[in-house]
Amino acid sequence: MKLGCPKEIKPQEFRVGMTPHAAHEAIAHGHEVIIETGAGDGSGFPDSAYIDVGVVIVDTAEEIFATADMIVKVKEPQAVERKMLREGQLLFTYLHLAPDPEQTRDLLDSGCTAIAYETVTDRNGGLPLLAPMSEVAGKLAPQVGAWTLQKANGGRGVLLGGVPGVRPAKVVVIGGGHVGTHAARVAAGMGADVTVLDMSLPRLRYLDDAFRSEFKTSYASKGNTAELVEAADMVVGAVLIPGAAAPKLVTREQLSTMKPGAAIVDVAIDQGGCFETSKPTTHENPIYDVDGIMHYCVANMPGAVARTSTIALGNATMPFMLALADKGWKQACADNPHLLEGLNVHAGKLTYYAVGKALGIDVTSPQLLIK
Ligand SMILES: NC(=O)C1=CN([C@@H]2O[C@H](COP(=O)(O)OP(=O)(O)OC[C@H]3O[C@@H](n4cnc5c(N)ncnc54)[C@H](O)[C@@H]3O)[C@@H](O)[C@H]2O)C=CC1
Ligand SMILES: CC(=O)C(=O)O
Ligand SMILES: [Mg+2]
């Protein structure tokens, strides 16, 4: 199979879909790999690192989309990339379709087969291709939230850890999964007073067992959430219902109960965000103010630490990428029900229920397509 990796074009996105190690493995499996010139530069992988392992460097994304059987990327295809996708072509990348009707329509129209990193599962019910980027975004959240809280950035002028004689900031994390746990640990490590909210009692039990000395837990009822949000200096949005649009857990009205200059870091923005007032921002212009509350809503946070993120993502995607290349998507998905969970679009049909529900589009069962 011919695998193609274009340079990412989302604003300030410095990751790349394939590391030289991943490309090397694909070539060792008998595949051809082409990559757009400069695609790895932002992650510290120059063209020469790919040439050394047998990759062919091409000048344009057009050439990749015109000739590759499988496109391996990081972020959802942008409008100009979607125009280049072809019938029968396999796309392996993050998609986040539930909050994105335009992208969904374009993917359906293209006739491509699209497997979304964020809905591939594992045998423990986890999301192995989302987890590494959630770990990164979770660790970044207190860092960007601390910056947002600085007075010059519109924040309250509160230092997360406080100082002797001055209490630390109160940080509330809504959702105690991968993002939430990493955010809570880093915020606690910076000295903040941290509480994690979740709807899952087993998850809260685990967090309490493992991290009792670092942060507190609370059940995410509407009442508890409202009280904690009101008292918070920083609120991190970290909930997920896999593949679905994020539930809106904090309304615009609630902002008026918050401390002026408090910071919201809505990591769940890639699934539409869990604050009513969230809208996606970019690394170039990451924050905005609604009713005196500063919002940080960057949908590709891990792109800021591209080298770490590219390597972490590549470690997770490589075995799935190799299975898709070796067997073709149909056999690879027939052999691995967890990879089949990643199938969101095939030949003009939507195949992921939570996306269909969010967008009001009929869904075809993915099982029917692998028979
Ligand atoms: N903005 C960015 O750059 C990035 C965003 N993300 C996003 O962050 C979000 C969280 O991802 P993960 O932590 O990996 O998910 P996860 O599945 O590990 O954790 C989600 C947690 O939310 C909890 N939850 C679900 N509904 C809830 C509710 N109504 N109230 C309270 N808790 C609730 C679940 O019980 C679970 O513990 C996802 O939308 C993911 O796509 C991840 C990486 C980068
Ligand atoms: C998960 C995701 O959207 C990202 O890593 O950019
Ligand atoms: Mg996105």
pLDDT of residue 290: 98
**Which CATH number is associated with domain 2-120+305-369?**
3.40.50.720
For range 222-229, the mean pLDDT = 98
Q: Residues of the chain with pLDDT > 70: what percent?
A: 100
pLDDT of residue 52: 98
Q: Which atom in ligand 2 lies closest to the alpha carbon of residue 117?
A: 1
Task: Determine the Cα–Cα distance for residues 246 and 227; give it in Å rounded to an integer.
Answer: 21
CA 282 centroid distance within chain: 14
ipTM of this complex > 0.85? yes
Residue 216 parent element (H or E): strand 216-219
pLDDT of residue 169: 98
Q: For the chain, what are the domain ranges?
A: 2-120+305-369, 131-299
What is the whole-number distance in angstroms between the Cα of residue 178 and the centre of ligand 1? 7
pLDDT of residue 30: 98
- Greatest distance between any 2 Cα atoms in the chain: 67
pLDDT of residue 114: 98
For 101-111, how does the pLDDT look when each residue is reduced to its tens digit (9 = 90+)? 999 999 999 99
Nearest 5°: phi and psi at 188? -65, -40
Written as six digits, the tokens of 300 are: 């590709």
For 298-317, how does the pLDDT look when each residue is reduced to its tens digit (9 = 90+)? 999 999 999 999 999 999 99
300 lines ligand 2 (CB under 6 A): yes
pLDDT of residue 371: 85
For 125-164, how does the pLDDT look when each residue is reduced to its tens digit (9 = 90+)? 999 999 999 999 999 999 999 999 999 999 999 999 999 9
Check: CB of residue 115 under 8 Å from CB of residue 349. no
Q: Does the annotation mark 326 as catalytic?
A: no
Report the side by side order of strands in the sheet with 293-296: 216-219, 193-198, 170-174, 234-237, 263-266, 293-296, 287-290
In the set 106, 193, 270, 295, the catalytic residue is 270
pLDDT of residue 131: 98
Q: pTM here?
A: 0.96
For range 23-46, the mean pLDDT = 98
pLDDT of residue 144: 98
Q: Does the annotation mark 59 as catalytic?
A: no
Query: Does the pLDDT of residue 345 top 90, yes or no?
Result: yes
Mutate to test the pocket of ligand 2, among 13, 94, 95, 240 (most ligand atoms within 8 A of CB): 94
CATH number (3.40.50.720, 1.20.1250.20, 3.40.50.300, 3.40.50.150) of 131-299 reads: 3.40.50.720
Fold matches, 2-120+305-369 and 131-299 = yes
